[in-house]
Amino acid sequence: MQRTPDAVFKSLADRTRRTLFERLCREGEQTVRMLTDGSGVSQPAVSKHLGVLKLAGLVRDRHEGRETHYSAHPQALKPLVDWMGVYAAFWSERFDRLEDLLKRMDQ
Amino acid sequence: MTDIATETLSVVIERDIAFPPEKIWRALTQPHLIEEWLMKNDFRPVVGHHFSFRMDPQPNWNGVVDCEVLAIEPNKALSYTWGSMGMKTVVTLTLTPTDTGTHLRMEQSGFRPEQQQNYQGAKYGWQRFFANLEQVVARID
């Protein structure tokens, strides 16, 4: 399924979702219950946020018994990374030119 | 008002250069030198001066960047707006002397992927998010 960059941007525009996503990236697979503990957000709210992240392709879920386990899928960040990367590459290349110019310039 | 600083994305490029700030400053502020490394321009080191950068049109871009000088601190810092393809960002170049020359830092800030209400509620710094993201991105194949 092809996901649009918009879905990635929009899903990460929410602080709670970014926190959940970062935590899954950092700590690996977690259940909804584990993610709810200490989050300051109710379990239904956490589930809802995870649903949005899942639609954007940023997390994946796996059912085991009664529990749903979520894990991060950071590859889905690619549209965001690509978009910023164009500008980073532009300036990096221009700085190469700047250094070349400085070598040619008089003191 | 929305706090733009915490709700937009920045690109930061840093480099240590083996020349003093004064020399680099000339390359950042003299139009004929700017053209050699960046783009054709009618820049003047005057706050409030409107100018543009121009290059050959690209398939998805007319090649024009509309700018306005925001701040000038000789040999130290230079800031101008960067308007292109309907998006307005701010470029800030900072020079810091080092033992071996100069630390040059470019920050282009104000990228707003969704210039809509989606960003209104976000109080979490994008900068910090991206700092945290580095190790994540390193894992992307």
Identify the band that residue B9 occupies on the pLDDT scale cut at 50, 70 and 90.
Answer: low
Task: Say what the pLDDT of residue A13 is.
Answer: 78
Please count the residue pairs, one from chain A and one from chain B, whose beta carbons lie less than 8 angstroms apart.
89
Contact by Cβ (8 Å): A35, A44: no
Contact A98 B132 (CB under 8 A): no
Paired tokens of A56 = 């954007």
Residue with tokens 């993201």: B133
Query: B interface toward A at CB cutoff 8 Å?
Result: 9, 11, 13, 15, 17, 19, 23-24, 26-27, 33, 36-38, 104, 106, 108, 111, 113-114, 118-119, 121-124, 129, 132-133, 135-137, 139-141
The predicted model gives B97-114 an average pLDDT of: 83
Residue with tokens 């040619």: A104
Paired tokens of B120 = 């209104």
In a 3-state reduction of DSSP, which class is residue A38? Answer: coil
pLDDT digits (tens, 9 = 90+) for B13-34: 888 999 999 999 999 999 999 9
Contact A105 B33 (CB under 8 A): yes
Identify the band that residue B8 occupies on the pLDDT scale cut at 50, 70 and 90.
Answer: low
Contact A9 B106 (CB under 8 A): no
Task: Break chain B into its structural domains and give their ranges.
Answer: 4-138
Residue with tokens 């915490």: B6
Predicted model pTM: 0.62
Contact B140 A10 (CB under 8 A): no
Quickly count: other Cβ atoms within 10 Å of residue A100's Cβ: 12
In a 3-state reduction of DSSP, which class is residue A34? Answer: helix
The residue among A3 and B12 whose pLDDT is bigger is B12
B23 vs A14, A84, A105: nearest CB: A105
Question: Does residue B129 have a pLDDT over 70?
Answer: no
Contact by Cβ (8 Å): A75, B141: yes
Contact B9 A74 (CB under 8 A): no
- What values do phi and psi take at A57, rounded to 5? 85, 5
Contacts of B13 in chain A (CB under 8 A): 88, 91-92, 95
Task: Say what the pLDDT of residue B45 is.
Answer: 95
pLDDT over 90 percentage in chain A: 44
Task: Say what the pLDDT of residue B134 is.
Answer: 43
pLDDT over 70 percentage in chain A: 91
Lowest mean pLDDT among A36-40, A75-79, B74-78, B105-109: A75-79
Question: Does residue B38 have a pLDDT over 80?
Answer: yes
User: Chain A: residue nearest B21 by CA?
Assistant: A102
Domains of chain A as residue ranges with CATH: 5-104 (1.10.10.10)
User: Chain B: residue nearest A106 by CA?
Assistant: B23
The predicted model gives A94-105 an average pLDDT of: 93
A101 vs B36, B132, B136: nearest CB: B36
**CATH of the domain spanning B4-138:** 3.30.530.20
Question: Does residue B2 have a pLDDT over 70?
Answer: no
User: Chain A: residue nearest B133 by CA?
Assistant: A22
Predicted ipTM? 0.72
